Structure 1
């Protein structure tokens, strides 16, 4: 089967960049990314490429080459499905907040809604591809919905594939253009071949792996669980290093040279964030409990528990170092995105740390080169507040600063929470004179040069050694 037209439902962090790269590499295929959010579609169609709703290095150039040629963004969902040979489902699957499995299971309402919309609008034979991260056997739900429609109208037929994304935000374009692997799960060989043929335009055949549907779905959850496990593991060792006098960077370098372990994901920090790690592990926990694997569920749940503990621990350390109280004190927060080179704040460590400090009555001045004030307000569930004087009434507040200098003006401490490149090369001597002394730097990402910070007369706590 030759694919000529593709529709992707969901214009978010996965759907938009993925379809942009496919369009760039496969100019003979027409791709339409659809979404119910008109403002998001308008942003994807904006003439100013700096206004794209997703910030990823290199994404603007890819969109510029393909948009209007064979890459389109639209809210005409039914029409785009009807004309497509292949439909990708790339919608959000957050953790359920209420009901059965609340706090762990994935909320699949939008996936089911997409399946029903495809069932109603599709024409002829349509390959439906799961792109969202989904629990094992979700494809069975999609198949059941589609097969019911097929029985009603034999002129229409469907095949379901699992093609999970393995993207790291901040490097998503590189990950799409030069992936470690592409995973396609399914039981219809011709449909698998059709999707594999698309990827073969720029990806070597040996990197395109074929599995069953269930193995493909579980592989995505397992990959994220293993990566998150490494982060929690090294952060636990970082706390031990601080207590024992060791240096976590030296420990990480020593164990990373072991070929069985490797050096990746051994950077201690404030914990993992993003849309996938916590959600996918909790989903895995829920599924393990569902199948009666309680010890396995408890094991994976501990990875999330330690991640949350790490963030509370950092907030407590700040309070402790600042004479046991931050009430009325101005704290400069450098970085709010969950990692550098993205504007995504989902499950960002900065959120929990900031909330803890706000609860303690701190006045936070927040700087991030890509995260908008409105997003910070939503994440903190608190509107920004102008605070010109130091108040001791116990009420915390925050504001966003336009520059690093404005952020640190009058601050008792600087917290580096995101590893943006420009935070690595700050002029500490000039910043120190703007702060209220004695002043601290809390480097949760180990990006500063300790000697430069101390030479400026600032006290330093750094993740994994922390001695000052």
Structure 2
């Protein structure tokens, strides 16, 4: 069944969700307060790099199934369901800033004159949905005939289109069978593919998303702690992780030691969860998250210190090549990037940092230089740092690069390079938590 769907907010989440809803057959209008972003999307272009997104935008803006606007009057009574896909950035003290969501409610609600379902997709502290519903009903002419549901997203940057079209689970936080029925119509195609569905209350839906983020962050910080242990004891963290991964209770995913996690979502979402846990006096959860954050930040400091150590204790004036600027491969997102944190630390220590990334573009600044190729970055480098695991870095020719570098030293901050091949080419390869013979 074809529905009329509005998506409020057209950032990373909203643009992907709008394109995905059009792809599964719905008529979609995306709305945003930013006219420049709307113009870009309406032309079928993506304002971000995300694999597979732009082809969907091109296809469905041309077909007329997907369009964009800045005018709430176009969507208020037109849509069968309104999705809230707005950012919840970190506010003072790390608490989630809900002003974008509140502003959207304030703009939409006064125009709702008939029974309407509004569905939140944003990551929010538990209790937010009920507060927004009160605000919605107080402002809407339709009053209690307007209902709020929560359907959190579980998108991985670099795989967001795939996760939208073929989700690994759907969470429907609802208060009525009517809301549930409508959401099942929205997601009719994924549901025909036996996608698992969790039907629950609003609070559980909010917590499922934040718990997922917190658990993944904890898993990453755990393996990085074990990398430190392997480093101290002479063990190999990759073999350790492989062995743990065979245990079905644990699994291998997110057990990749290295620089840790970053991006615009995971760090701020777990911090907001810690703040909310403190407010609700669940101190044990807040303390766990604080430990996870400390380990994550410590990995970045450890790699910067290791770089200084490899250059004899002083990097003043040293040319350092950094491979990678995005927080992970498959995206141009540099928010809270571990690679850039390391680069900034080394710059502050006096190094001349040169960065290459295949997608991320850095704002012009004096701190370091961004170049267009790996060769440019490595030429004259006294040490090379592999900090974002783009596939192209795993296929580099260490012999050719060795002819360009001043010193053949590479720190593999993601433990993804084939160290024997690099060592055979005369490089010293340093990997935290790995025996040097492997």
Structures share a fold, TM > 0.5?
A: yes
Where does residue 339 of structure 1 map in the other structure?
Answer: 328
Where does residue 41 of structure 2 map in the other structure?
Answer: 44
- Paired with 1:3 and 1:87, the residues of 2 have a C-alpha distance of 15
Change (3 A) 1:243 1:31: same
> Deviations 1:30-78 (Å, cap 9, x if unpaired)?
211111222222222335x5xx112222222322332232111222234
- Paired with 2:147 and 2:339, the residues of 1 have a C-alpha distance of 42
- The answer to whether the aligner puts 1:83 opposite 2:71 as a matched pair is no
What is the SS of the residue equivalent to 1:73? Answer: strand
Change (3 A) 1:112 1:410: same
Change (3 A) 1:131 1:345: same
- Paired with 2:142 and 2:267, the residues of 1 have a C-alpha distance of 42
> Which residue, out of 135, 155, 160, partners 2:148?
160
- The answer to whether the aligner puts 1:130 opposite 2:120 as a matched pair is yes
- Structure 1 residue 455 displacement after superposition: 2.2
- Paired with 1:359 and 1:412, the residues of 2 have a C-alpha distance of 17
Kept in 2, the 8 Å contact 1:57–1:341? The answer is: yes
- Structure 1 residue 466 displacement after superposition: 6.1
> Which residue, out of 241, 247, 250, partners 2:239?
250
Change (3 A) 1:36 1:260: same
- Paired with 2:308 and 2:43, the residues of 1 have a C-alpha distance of 44
> Which residue, out of 28, 31, 37, partners 1:31?
28
Kept in 2, the 8 Å contact 1:281–1:301? The answer is: no
Kept in 1, the 8 Å contact 2:168–2:195? The answer is: no
Where does residue 386 of structure 2 map in the other structure?
Answer: 416
Q: What TM-score, normalized to structure 2?
A: 0.95
- Paired with 2:219 and 2:208, the residues of 1 have a C-alpha distance of 17
Where does residue 14 of structure 2 map in the other structure?
Answer: 15
- The answer to whether the aligner puts 1:182 opposite 2:170 as a matched pair is yes
- Structure 1 residue 313 displacement after superposition: 0.9
> Deviations 1:87-141 (Å, cap 9, x if unpaired)?
1111110111x3xxx1x21011111111111112334222111111011011112
Kept in 2, the 8 Å contact 1:460–1:466? The answer is: no
Change (3 A) 1:92 1:263: same
Where does residue 390 of structure 1 map in the other structure?
Answer: none
- Paired with 1:269 and 1:143, the residues of 2 have a C-alpha distance of 42
- Paired with 1:300 and 1:442, the residues of 2 have a C-alpha distance of 28
Change (3 A) 1:184 1:121: same
- Paired with 1:457 and 1:406, the residues of 2 have a C-alpha distance of 20
What is the SS of the residue equivalent to 1:373? Answer: coil
- Paired with 2:231 and 2:7, the residues of 1 have a C-alpha distance of 48
- The answer to whether the aligner puts 1:425 opposite 2:395 as a matched pair is yes
What is the SS of the residue equivalent to 2:191? Answer: coil
- The answer to whether the aligner puts 1:464 opposite 2:411 as a matched pair is no
> Which residue, out of 299, 305, 316, partners 1:316?
305
- Paired with 1:254 and 1:202, the residues of 2 have a C-alpha distance of 34
- Structure 1 residue 199 displacement after superposition: 0.5
Where does residue 387 of structure 1 map in the other structure?
Answer: none
> Which residue, out of 219, 223, 244, partners 1:230?
219
Structure 1 unaligned regions, length at least 5:
378-382, 385-396
- Paired with 1:345 and 1:260, the residues of 2 have a C-alpha distance of 33
Which residues of 2 match residues 342-421 of structure 1 at below 5 A? 342-374=331-363, 377=364, 383-384=365-366, 397-421=367-391
- Paired with 1:432 and 1:336, the residues of 2 have a C-alpha distance of 22
What is the SS of the residue equivalent to 2:103? Answer: helix
Deviates most, 219-228 or 59-68: 59-68
Deviates most, 58-67 or 408-417: 58-67
- Structure 1 residue 456 displacement after superposition: 2.3
Kept in 2, the 8 Å contact 1:9–1:77? The answer is: no
Deviates most, 306-315 or 172-181: 172-181
- Paired with 1:336 and 1:196, the residues of 2 have a C-alpha distance of 40
Change (3 A) 1:176 1:4: closer
> Which residue, out of 178, 182, 196, partners 2:184?
196
Paired residues in the alignment total 435
- Paired with 2:35 and 2:361, the residues of 1 have a C-alpha distance of 19
What is the SS of the residue equivalent to 1:249? Answer: helix
What is the SS of the residue equivalent to 1:139? Answer: helix
Change (3 A) 1:454 1:190: same
What is the SS of the residue equivalent to 1:442? Answer: strand
- Structure 1 residue 25 displacement after superposition: 0.9
Where does residue 71 of structure 1 map in the other structure?
Answer: 66
> Deviations 1:172-215 (Å, cap 9, x if unpaired)?
12212221111010102101210111101233356222110010
What is the SS of the residue equivalent to 2:258? Answer: coil
Kept in 2, the 8 Å contact 1:79–1:121? The answer is: no
Structure 2 unaligned regions, length at least 5:
none
CA RMSD of aligned residues (A): 1.8
Where does residue 203 of structure 2 map in the other structure?
Answer: 214
Where does residue 104 of structure 2 map in the other structure?
Answer: 114
- Structure 1 residue 332 displacement after superposition: 0.8
